[in-house]
């Protein structure tokens, strides 16, 4: 498959710049694979649309306020985006810098009274290793939560707003898992009321954690999709969720593509020990044709042209076959004509 096949025409006004007034007032497109039919709903109707005897899996990661601001010794402004800690060096993170070249040549930057940062190394990936000296905080993540800003996606064409502090997090985000630089956006539609209703109806809900990285937003740049080097994201999945995946009684709904990647990577692994938490790197590139090991239904948002997420959803629309992308393009065309809102703060799609 050629990467150019992942392109589609999206009017600029279909890209959501703000969330809806209420999380559950977003719209919900339902596609039933057995009927090849599209139905239009609102998210608060979700409990009435799901099949019975369903296990629901979700990503409980929390978004770090990973965008730090500072300046070089010359006074020039620096923007630093924390990506992930370096496992070998204390208080040293993989970062993106803007401007990258000038800041690397300067060798350091700071926010007086808050931190001093040294650029240790320039990496081939375009990332930088940055070591932080912290007079007030235990580590750079604590610094970021105190003085940083949420890293909104590049297609949200505005500065971070106070509303983003709550709405760019799921209501079930675990603050102990504050390791993502982007939200698992399919989960943004849930409210406590909907979650309680699902539990009262007998649905079981299980948490796992995948640290969403910038690779989520990076387009495929190779001519052929198969040549794309898939980014890796850390995940953990505990004994309770692993035991539920092993059960054959009932079906599984994955909330978001990050949940799909976690489940499918875990089930494709050799060691499926149930008694302890599994921690690994999900580098699985799901694209047509792909036969899913543990996901029966998918709740997701509408995704970027040319992205790996389009590949995953295409594969899910027609498991084990090559024709899912054509179906996805038809669904997206209907969504655009019905004025659905796209991307992170946009509407949702349920595939049954």
Left if phi > 0, otherwise alpha if psi is -120 to 50, otherwise beta: which for 157? beta
Q: What is the pLDDT of residue 270?
A: 67
Task: Note the Cα 188 to chain centre separation in Å.
Answer: 11
pLDDT by residue, tens only, the chain of 352 residues = 898 999 999 999 999 999 999 999 999 999 999 999 999 999 999 999 999 989 999 999 999 999 999 999 999 999 999 998 998 899 999 999 999 999 999 999 999 999 999 999 999 988 999 999 999 999 999 999 999 999 999 899 998 888 999 999 999 999 999 999 999 999 999 999 999 999 999 999 999 999 998 777 678 889 999 998 888 899 999 999 999 999 878 899 999 999 999 999 999 986 778 889 999 999 999 999 999 999 999 999 999 999 999 999 999 999 999 999 999 999 999 999 999 999 999 999 999 9
Q: What is the pLDDT of residue 230?
A: 86
What is the C-alpha to C-alpha distance for residues 21 and 44, in angstroms, rounded to an integer?
13
Write the DSSP assignment of 4-24 as a string of letters. GGG-----GGGB-SS--SSGG
Q: Does domain 3-63+164-351 have CATH number 1.10.275.10?
A: no
Q: 79-84 long-range contacts, Cβ below 8 Å, gap at least 24?
A: 80/109, 80/117, 80/130, 81/151, 81/181, 81/214, 82/140, 82/141, 82/144, 82/148, 82/181, 83/127, 83/181, 83/213, 83/214, 84/179, 84/211, 84/213, 84/234
Q: What is the pLDDT of residue 217?
A: 67
Which residues, other chains included, contact 257 with Cβ-Cβ below 8 Å and sequence gap of 6+?
186, 298, 300, 303, 309, 312, 313
Q: Is the peptide bond before 73 cis (omega within 30 degrees of 0)?
A: no
Question: How many C-beta atoms lie closer than 10 Å to residue 180's C-beta?
Answer: 26
Q: What is the pLDDT of residue 219?
A: 83
Q: What is the DSSP letter of 185?
A: G
Q: How many Cα atoms sit within 13 Å of 128 on the Cβ side? A: 25
Q: What is the pLDDT of residue 282?
A: 93
Closest listed residue to residue 95, CA positions, set 60, 131, 63, 57? 131
Q: CB of 346 within 8 A of CB of 156? A: no
Angle between helix axes 308-317 and 324-337 (nearest 10 degrees) is 110
For the chain, what are the domain ranges?
3-63+164-351, 67-147
Q: What is the pLDDT of residue 272?
A: 73
**Predicted TM-score (pTM) of this structure:** 0.93
Q: What is the pLDDT of residue 273?
A: 80
Q: What is the pLDDT of residue 69?
A: 97
SS3 300: strand
The CATH number of domain 67-147, selected from 3.30.565.10, 1.10.645.10, 2.40.10.240, 3.40.1160.10: 2.40.10.240
Locate 274 and state its tokens: 């149930």
Q: What is the pLDDT of residue 87?
A: 83
Q: Is the peptide bond before 99 cis (omega within 30 degrees of 0)?
A: yes
């Amino acid at each position: 498959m050629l990467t150019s096949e992942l392109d589609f025409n999206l009017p600029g006004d279909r890209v959501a710049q703000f969330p809806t007034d209420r999380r559950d007032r977003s719209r919900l497109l339902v596609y039933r694979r057995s009927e090849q039919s599209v139905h239009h709903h609102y998210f608060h109707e979700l409990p009435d649309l799901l099949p019975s005897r369903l296990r629901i899996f979700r990503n409980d990661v929390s978004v770090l306020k990973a965008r730090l601001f500072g300046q070089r010794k010359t006074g020039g402004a620096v923007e630093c985006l924390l990506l992930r800690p370096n496992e070998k060096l204390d208080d040293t993170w993989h970062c993106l810098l803007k401007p990258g070249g000038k800041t690397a040549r300067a060798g350091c930057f700071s926010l007086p009274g808050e931190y001093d940062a040294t650029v240790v190394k320039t990496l081939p990936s375009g990332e930088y290793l940055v070591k932080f000296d912290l007079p007030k905080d235990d580590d750079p993540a604590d610094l970021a939560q105190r003085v940083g800003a949420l890293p909104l996606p590049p297609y949200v064409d505005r500065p971070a707003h106070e509303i983003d502090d709550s709405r760019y997090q799921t209501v079930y985000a675990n603050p102990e898992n504050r390791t993502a630089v982007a939200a698992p956006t399919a989960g943004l539609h849930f409210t406590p009321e909907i979650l309680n209703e699902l539990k009262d109806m007998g649905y079981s809900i299980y948490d796992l954690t995948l640290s969403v990285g910038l690779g989520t937003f990076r387009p495929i740049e190779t001519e052929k999709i198969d040549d794309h080097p898939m980014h890796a994201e850390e995940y953990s999945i505990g004994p309770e969720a692993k035991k539920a995946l092993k059960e054959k009684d009932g079906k599984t709904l994955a909330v978001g593509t990050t949940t799909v990647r976690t489940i499918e990577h875990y089930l494709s692994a050799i060691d499926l020990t149930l008694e302890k938490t599994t921690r690994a790197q999900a580098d699985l590139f799901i694209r047509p044709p792909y036969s899913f090991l543990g996901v029966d239904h998918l709740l997701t948002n509408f995704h970027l042209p040319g992205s790996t997420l389009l590949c995953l959803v295409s594969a899910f629309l027609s498991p084990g076959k090559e024709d899912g992308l054509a179906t996805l393009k038809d669904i997206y065309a209907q969504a655009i004509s019905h004025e659905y809102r796209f991307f992170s703060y946009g509407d949702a799609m349920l595939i049954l």
